[in-house]
Amino acid sequence: MAMAVHEAAAREFAAQRHALWGFCYRMTGSAADADALIQETFVRVLERPPSDLSIGWGPSLARTAAAHSIDALRLRQHRAYIGSWLPAPIETGSAIAECPAACDDGGTTYGEIESLTTRFLIAIEPFTPRQRAVLLLRAVFGYSIHDAAQSLELTYANVKSTLQKARQLMRPYDADRPLPTREAQARVAALLNEFLERLQRYDAAAVEAMLATDARAITDSAGEFVAPTHPVCGRERIVRLLLKMAERRGPPTRYAFRMLNAFPALVAEVPAPAAWAPRFVFRIDINSDGLILELHTITATRKLAAVSFNPA
C-alpha cells in the first residue's frame, strides 16, 4: 500500500515538476534554490501525505512549495548580501512572450515567458514574500483567488487585498513592459553584438555613444570576486569601468551567446587573475530610444549554475 502511495505521489510530482520549479525560481530568483526547494517539497509531502488522497497530490505539492519558497525568500531578504543583487540567469531557448491577457479582476496577466525576464524579477524583488506569492499565483500561473488562498493558507479577503497592493507596486513596470517578442530579442542581440565589438576595440567614445545618459552598470559577485559593490552610474564612469575590466581580464578563452531569461546574453570564460571571476554572464536592457539603460554582469558561481558555458 505504501509503495502504491509513493508511486502516485511521484507521478503527480513529475507532472507538476516544471510548474513547481518555475514558481520556486520566480519566488527566489535563484535556480539553485529552486532545485533545492522542489526536492524538499517532494520529501515533505511524502512525510505528510494529504489526509484525503481522493483529491490527489497536486494541492498538497503546491501548498508545500509555496510555504517553503516563502520561507526561503524571507530568509534571503533578512540575510546581509554583499554587493548588488541580480536574479540568477536561466536558459530559455527560443521562447517568446505570449500576448498579455486581462484577469477577471481587471488586472494585467504576465505570461510565463515575460515573468522569467530579468526586468520582471527585479520589479518584484522589493515585494514581501506574501505579495510575491499572491501575484505569481494569480497573475502568472492563473490561480483563482480561492485556489491561491488555499495554496497560501490565507483568507479570500487577504488574497484580494494583497493582490491589490502588489498590482499597485507593479505600475512602474507596467508602464514600460519590455516584452520579449521576436523583434525585441533581435534588437537586443544586434545592440549587444555592436556594443561588444566597440568594447573589444577599446573605442571609449563609440562605447559611450551607445549608453543612455542615466545608464547603470550592476555587477553581482555576491562578494565572491573583485567587483563594484554598488551600481556604477553615468556613461563616463561605466566606460572607464568596462575598459579597465576588459584590460585586466583579457579576451575570452571561450564565449557564446545564449537566450537567458528570454533575451540574448553573453556567457564567457576568461583567463582572469587571482580573485577575479573566471566566468560571467553579461546582458543589457535598452530604453525606448534604443540606448543601453542597464548593463548586468553576473559572476557569482552559484548564480551561474543553470547556464552552459560550452559553445553552441
DSSP string covering the chain = -HHHHHHHHHHHHHHHHHHHHHHHHHHHS-HHHHHHHHHHHHHHHHHS--S-GGG-SHHHHHHHHHHHHHHHHHHHHHS--SS---PPP-B-TT--PPPP-B-TTS-BPPPTTGGGSHHHHHHTTTS-HHHHHHHHHHHTS---HHHHHHHHT--HHHHHHHHHHHHHHTHHHHTT-----HHHHHHHHHHHHHHHHHHHTT-HHHHHHTEEEEEEEEEE-TTSSS--SS-EESHHHHHHHHHHHHHHH-S-SEEEEEEETTEEEEEEE--PPTTS-SEEEEEEEE-TTS-EEEEEEE--GGGGTT---S--
Closest CA to 76 of 17, 32, 43: 32
pLDDT in tens, the chain (312 residues): 455 556 777 787 788 899 999 999 999 999 999 999 999 998 888 888 766 666 767 888 899 999 999 999 999 999 999 999 999 999 999 888 766 655 555 556 899 999 999 999 999 999 999 999 999 999 999 999 999 999 999 999 999 999 999 999 999 999 988 899 999 999 999 999 999 999 999 999 999 999 999 999 999 999 999 999 999 999 999 999 999 988 888 788 899 999 999 999 999 999 878 898 999 999 999 999 999 999 999 999 999 999 988 765
DSSP for 218-248 reads: EEE-TTSSS--SS-EESHHHHHHHHHHHHHH
- Give pLDDT, residue 1: 42
Task: For residue 143, report the phi and psi dihedrals to the nearest 5 degrees.
Answer: -70, 145
User: With a threshold of 0.95, does the pTM exceed it?
Assistant: no
Measured CA distances, 22 to 26, 31, 99, 147 (Å): 6, 9, 19, 18
Q: How confident is the model at residue 267, as a pLDDT? A: 96
Domains of the chain listed by start with CATH number: 1-78 (no CATH), 97-178 (1.10.10.10), 182-304 (3.10.450.50)
Only one residue has cell 505521489, namely 9
The pLDDT value given to residue 96? 84
Question: What pLDDT sits at residue 26?
Answer: 98
Provide the pLDDT for residue 48. 81
